[in-house]
Chains A and B, each alone.
Chain A
Amino acid sequence: MTRTFRMNEVQPRLLDETGQGIIGAPLVRPEGHLKVSGQATYAAEAKVENLAHGVLVRATITKGRVLRVDEAGVRDMPGVLAVHMTDERMIRNPAQGMMGESPVRDGKYIEYLGQPIGVVVADTFEQARDAAQRLKLEYSEEEAEVDPDNASETEWTDKEDYGDIDMAMDKAAHSVDEEYITAAHVAGAMEPHAAIAVWEGDKVTLHGSCQLVQFNVKELADALNIEEENVRILSPYIGGGFGSKLGISNEAVAAAIAAKDLGRPVRVVMSRQQVFDAVLRRTETTQRIRLAAEADGTLLGIEHRDRVSNLPNEGFSEPTNQATHFLYGGANRRYRQETARIHRNPSGSVRAPGEAVGMVALETAMDELAEASGVDPVELRLRNIPETHPETGLPYSARMLAECLKDGASSFGWDQRQSPRARREGDWFTGMGVASAARMNMLLPSEARVILTPTGAIVETDMTDIGTGTYAILGQIAGEMLGLPRELVEVRLGDSSFPKAAGSGGSFGAASSGSSVFLACKAIRDQIADKMGCGGDDLTLSNGLARCGNVEKKLEDLIDSDIVEVAQIKPGDTRKEAFSSGFGAHFAEVAVHAWTGEVRVKRMAGTFAAGRILNERTARSQCWGGMIWGIGTALTEAAEHDPRRGHIITRDFANYHMPAHLDVPQLDVKFLEERDDYANPIQAKGIGELGISGAGAAVTNAIYNACGVRIRKFPAHPDVVLEGLMAFD
């Protein structure tokens, strides 16, 4: 029986009282050695007999219909088993996160260049790839708009106004009114999208690379027109997701269709180029920010407008202004968003949707306000931290933004910062920049089963580990609660037959699934306390020993049969009582070459407060990854769309420039001790996306401080910086 717990009131900090002492410890990942020695079986590596190989076929027009498929031209090629084209079940694009139903399907209709419109299956991968590339298609092509700046079809969000921003701008002593442009990004995970489908009668098992298993089951079932009960997904290891594997994707649907028709298991893996063609990208944005401030820099108001893009009928728009709502005060606020409906490849959630690019604009604008008002950028941020949520009036659950800014400034040596263009070493200008970090925190329903056996414990949940450290932290939570070293806790993930978890997305995974494990363990503790004859509060468990008062017993002696508890966490009233978000502060020092505009990040540091840190090592790794993507956002990373066809032409890692080792300096990450009592019963908050939020702006604000060039177009490639430098000539 599942115990359901609603987060209706603040809970005691039990994890601060337990005796095992491993919660928060920087323990290595239990599965780490499997991953680095090639023994962890990722989706494409599942051991399946009699496997056939499918390769997706790429649409080579932007919009139109497939008229004819020259199947005969490839059907007789050696090894070719099947050509599945114009199948009505083929999805147009991957599902958006938590959609729980199939995305748009129509095997014949093409809405972006690169759309996977079919699959060719052969005995070997090479045969299938050859045939897929040779397959000739005839289209009837339609005109397609691909330029967000000139889209004829756009949608506006409803007006969202607080006070009167126009009035605030009029009476402001200092103001900023600027436009910021950010490039599209693609989550090119190290493991490309991959699936193996195996049918037994009406039931399909999918070995997939899936972030949100319980939703992916629904999406796959819906796409295939079969019952949910007939779909099982196994996703024990995922080589990176970043949002691109939130929803069921084309390779999984294609593998399932092909395997069913062939009566044989089929594997489909996207090539790197197909990943860039078809997975949900982060939209490019054009943002306009207006800030109105009093003489001392205190904000009177903020306006955040933005233009994003997506395919027609795609229900996602980058929530660009998400952090703007709660980060800084000011009574007068306005938000507007326009979504251009164009036929670039579809957009969706990519690491920190909203904050990742929205905060780059907001935090640049704040730097511009600091310059305009003559207030130090750290001080300006401190002055504008609101007492309560500026729009809802809710208190903040736990917010150490000020402490992060102060601590970061102090350890970074912010007091050594000089005025723009004041520091020059040879041909290199040097400067420092700061930006706040904020990523709103969520709790989602999540369920787990914990089994205490005489020799250890087992955790089972369909939660996933996308490289983030789920195996590590769930083992730590269970070990801490049950008084076991982590080695005695086995964590089983990513199997849809296990209790349904929140999954990995939106930084909600660790706290949501961790809470469910915590609750199941708490129920087990109550049973042990009963056996010991004491109340749960008086029980101490550590290293396999149970203690109540003067009584001490071995756990194994207390357990005659396995104790099994299933628990579910659900969000409750606490989210209406306080607003929960992770906060932090980024500091960067950069050098800018005076002649060429090249930028080198010399140092970068992030101080974060995200509630209870469950594993300092994996948490730090998350922040590093986020900060590195921040460097990419600031300096290197851009998915370039062809202006005529709309597709991404930077389709591999040689042309899509994520930061290389040489772009990334020493990254210092520090966590401030915090508990968020309103967030969940383990007082932890999400951390996967906090590290990227704001990070890029610290880098580009440092560029301004170094050489006086304000970056409003991202990334700041050498030519972008150079244009500014030449204005000083």
Chain B
Amino acid sequence: MRPFDYTRPENLEVASQALTDGATPIAGGTNLIDLMKLQIMTPEHVVDLTRLPGLSDIDGTPDGGMRIGALVSNSVLAGDPTVRRAYPVLARALLAGASGQIRNKATTGGNLLQRTRCPYFYDTAMPCNKREPNSGCSAQGGIARMCAILGTSPECIAAHPSDMAVAMRALDAQVEIRQTSGETRTLPVGDLYLLPGDNPAKEYALEAGEVITAVILPAPVSGARQTYRKVRDRASYAFALVSVAAVVKMDGDTIESAQLAFGGIGAKPWRDTEVEDVLAGEAPSDELFAKAADVLLRDAWTEESNAFKAPLAKRTLISALRDATGLSGETHFDMGDAA
């Protein structure tokens, strides 16, 4: 960690100005402080957003959705009665992430903006294009177990680590952003993230000085079954090898609609509506789910050490859909009822 200036702005305007001038924002700090200790991030100025007013509330929206302040902690959000009732996939995803201590500190905005956990990003003895542009990608030809197989580029195969963002993607969440002008804009959560392409160091569609102020969820799909399935190397406190967030609405014996997002396999929280199109209007079956998985994985690019992720993703999707459609007879799914 290098010496840095620390300020705690009174309001968003001051914060935004500091960010425009190159400062780095901190909220829970559960990722940034680790990165600073390892000198992977070496900010000269850290702006603490945690005391900013008005960003810690969870409110209903006029259209039956929910507005989640950027500073709402992961623990508070996971335990919110409305979230548990109306967006159980989100509550489950949150509880599948990190540990109790970390969730107490981690915030909604910070969770969205956490950096990859690719081990080579954290190892300054090894080249990493995300950490040091044009130095190379060590994960390729290395241990890529935790790396992505979708949306990657020859420059970077890092996976986005968030569980929360995967659920939000399945829920069609929007990210509310305060621009430097003071105006607010919104982005679908999927558009917040940039694919690595030839510049993996550029990760977000945010301009200098912009601050995430909230995440807005649309009204829950009435009567849809929601589930979050996360497969990992131990039962808790591990990042996903593969995770699936599913919001599935049945119409009698056929699938009316399915909203699916994936973690652990994408360069960003992954969603592919063509997968959902395969399912809509069809009767659930293992064969149908396998077909959907094949569409999901049609462009998968794997390393030797993460080739297993393709079959694992396929089977995890089948398993999640068996539960969400009732095919497995599993009754532990949650209904996303209106708030």
- Which residues does A use to contact B, with CB under 8 Å? 58, 60-61, 78, 113-114, 126, 129-130, 133-134, 273, 426-427, 593, 595-598, 600, 635-636, 640-645, 647, 649-652, 654-655, 657, 659-663, 717-719, 722-723, 726
Contact B124 A722 (CB under 8 A): no
Across-interface contacts of A642 in B (CB, < 8 A): 126, 138, 142-143
B35 to chain A, nearest CB (A): 12
Contact A126 B1 (CB under 8 A): yes
Contact B2 A661 (CB under 8 A): no
A64 to chain B, nearest CB (A): 13
Contact B125 A719 (CB under 8 A): no
Across-interface contacts of B126 in A (CB, < 8 A): 642, 645
A638 and chain B: residue at smallest CB distance: B233
Across-interface contacts of A718 in B (CB, < 8 A): 231-233, 241, 312
Contact B237 A649 (CB under 8 A): no
Which of B70-78, B183-191, B315-323 lies at the interface with chain A? B315-323
Contact A427 B319 (CB under 8 A): yes
Residue among A78, A113, A273, A595 with max Cβ neighbours from chain B (10 Å): A595
List 18 extra interface pairs beyond A660-B236, A718-B231, A718-B241, CB under 8 A: A78-B3, A130-B1, A273-B38, A636-B234, A640-B143, A643-B141, A643-B142, A649-B120, A649-B142, A650-B143, A654-B117, A654-B237, A655-B119, A655-B146, A657-B234, A659-B234, A660-B235, A723-B308
A658 and chain B: residue at smallest CB distance: B234
Task: Indicate with 1 or 0, residue by residue over B106-144, a CB within 8 angstroms of chain A CB atoms.
Answer: 000000000001011011111000000000001001110
Contact A662 B316 (CB under 8 A): no
Across-interface contacts of A595 in B (CB, < 8 A): 315-316, 318-319, 322
Residue among A134, A650, A654 with max Cβ neighbours from chain B (10 Å): A654
Across-interface contacts of B241 in A (CB, < 8 A): 718-719
Contact A660 B119 (CB under 8 A): no
Partner of B235 from A427, A663, A723, A726 at Cβ < 8 Å: A663
B142 and chain A: residue at smallest CB distance: A642
* Cα of A596 to Cα of B234 in the assembled complex, Å: 13
* Cα of A60 to Cα of B126 in the assembled complex, Å: 8
A641 and chain B: residue at smallest CB distance: B143
* Cα of A649 to Cα of B126 in the assembled complex, Å: 10
Contact B119 A663 (CB under 8 A): no
Chain A CB within 8 A of B238 CB: yes
B300 to chain A, nearest CB (A): 15
Known: A113-B125, A593-B319, A651-B119. A640 touches B145 (CB 8 A): yes
Task: Indicate with 1 or 0, residue by residue over B274-314, a CB within 8 angstroms of chain A CB atoms.
Answer: 00000000000000000000000000000000001101100
- CB-contacts of B166-205 with A (<8 A): none
Across-interface contacts of A657 in B (CB, < 8 A): 233-234, 238
Partner of A661 from B236, B309, B315 at Cβ < 8 Å: B236
B58 to chain A, nearest CB (A): 27
Chain A CB within 8 A of B7 CB: no
B244 to chain A, nearest CB (A): 10
Contact A130 B237 (CB under 8 A): no
B226 to chain A, nearest CB (A): 19
Across-interface contacts of B316 in A (CB, < 8 A): 595-596
A146 to chain B, nearest CB (A): 12
Contact B328 A643 (CB under 8 A): no
Known: A655-B146, A718-B241, A722-B308. A600 touches B235 (CB 8 A): yes
Chain A CB within 8 A of B252 CB: no
Contact B328 A426 (CB under 8 A): yes
A345 to chain B, nearest CB (A): 13
A-B pairs with lowest CB-CB distance, top 10: A719-B308, A662-B235, A60-B125, A595-B319, A662-B236, A649-B119, A636-B234, A595-B315, A660-B236, A640-B143
Contact B328 A655 (CB under 8 A): no
- Listed by A's residue number, 29 A-B pairs whose Cβ atoms lie within 8 Å are A78-B3, A129-B37, A134-B39, A426-B329, A427-B322, A595-B319, A596-B229, A596-B231, A596-B315, A596-B316, A597-B312, A636-B233, A640-B143, A640-B145, A642-B126, A642-B142, A645-B125, A649-B120, A651-B119, A651-B123, A654-B117, A655-B146, A657-B238, A659-B234, A660-B234, A660-B238, A718-B241, A722-B311, A722-B315
Residue among B2, B234, B239 with max Cβ neighbours from chain A (10 Å): B234
Chain A CB within 8 A of B330 CB: yes
Across-interface contacts of B238 in A (CB, < 8 A): 654, 657, 660
A133 and chain B: residue at smallest CB distance: B39
- CB-contacts of B75-123 with A (<8 A): 117, 119-120, 122-123
Task: Indicate with 1 or 0, residue by residue over B225-251, a CB within 8 angstroms of chain A CB atoms.
Answer: 000010111111111010000000000
Contact B330 A427 (CB under 8 A): yes
Known: A427-B330, A596-B316. A726 touches B236 (CB 8 A): no
- Which residues does B use to contact A, with CB under 8 Å? 1-3, 37-39, 117, 119-120, 122-126, 138, 141-143, 145-146, 229, 231-239, 241, 308-309, 311-312, 315-316, 318-319, 322, 328-330
Across-interface contacts of A134 in B (CB, < 8 A): 39
A599 and chain B: residue at smallest CB distance: B235
Across-interface contacts of B236 in A (CB, < 8 A): 660-663
Contact A60 B311 (CB under 8 A): no
* Cα of A657 to Cα of B309 in the assembled complex, Å: 18
A119 to chain B, nearest CB (A): 17
Contact A722 B312 (CB under 8 A): yes
Across-interface contacts of B123 in A (CB, < 8 A): 649, 651
Contact A598 B231 (CB under 8 A): yes
* Cα of A649 to Cα of B117 in the assembled complex, Å: 12
* Cα of A575 to Cα of B236 in the assembled complex, Å: 46
* Cα of A423 to Cα of B241 in the assembled complex, Å: 27
Contact B312 A655 (CB under 8 A): no
* Cα of A650 to Cα of B146 in the assembled complex, Å: 11
Contact A660 B237 (CB under 8 A): yes
A654 to chain B, nearest CB (A): 7
* Cα of A78 to Cα of B2 in the assembled complex, Å: 11
Contact B319 A596 (CB under 8 A): yes
Across-interface contacts of B1 in A (CB, < 8 A): 126, 129-130
* Cα of A480 to Cα of B186 in the assembled complex, Å: 74
* Cα of A663 to Cα of B138 in the assembled complex, Å: 31
B323 and chain A: residue at smallest CB distance: A427
B169 to chain A, nearest CB (A): 21
B162 to chain A, nearest CB (A): 14
A600 to chain B, nearest CB (A): 7
Partner of B3 from A58, A130, A719, A726 at Cβ < 8 Å: A130
Contact B125 A663 (CB under 8 A): no
Contact B119 A644 (CB under 8 A): no
B315 and chain A: residue at smallest CB distance: A595
A719 and chain B: residue at smallest CB distance: B308
Across-interface contacts of B328 in A (CB, < 8 A): 426-427
* Cα of A129 to Cα of B234 in the assembled complex, Å: 32
Across-interface contacts of B231 in A (CB, < 8 A): 596, 598, 718
B328 and chain A: residue at smallest CB distance: A427
Across-interface contacts of A661 in B (CB, < 8 A): 236
A377 to chain B, nearest CB (A): 26
* Cα of A662 to Cα of B122 in the assembled complex, Å: 27
B102 and chain A: residue at smallest CB distance: A654
Across-interface contacts of B38 in A (CB, < 8 A): 133, 273
A601 and chain B: residue at smallest CB distance: B235
Across-interface contacts of B141 in A (CB, < 8 A): 643-644
Partner of A655 from B37, B117, B125 at Cβ < 8 Å: B117
Across-interface contacts of A113 in B (CB, < 8 A): 125
Contact A426 B237 (CB under 8 A): no
A60 and chain B: residue at smallest CB distance: B125
B164 to chain A, nearest CB (A): 17
* Cα of A644 to Cα of B137 in the assembled complex, Å: 13
Across-interface contacts of A717 in B (CB, < 8 A): 233
A713 to chain B, nearest CB (A): 12
Across-interface contacts of A273 in B (CB, < 8 A): 38
* Cα of A78 to Cα of B316 in the assembled complex, Å: 53
Across-interface contacts of A126 in B (CB, < 8 A): 1
* Cα of A595 to Cα of B124 in the assembled complex, Å: 38
A132 and chain B: residue at smallest CB distance: B39
Across-interface contacts of A660 in B (CB, < 8 A): 234-238
* Cα of A593 to Cα of B330 in the assembled complex, Å: 13
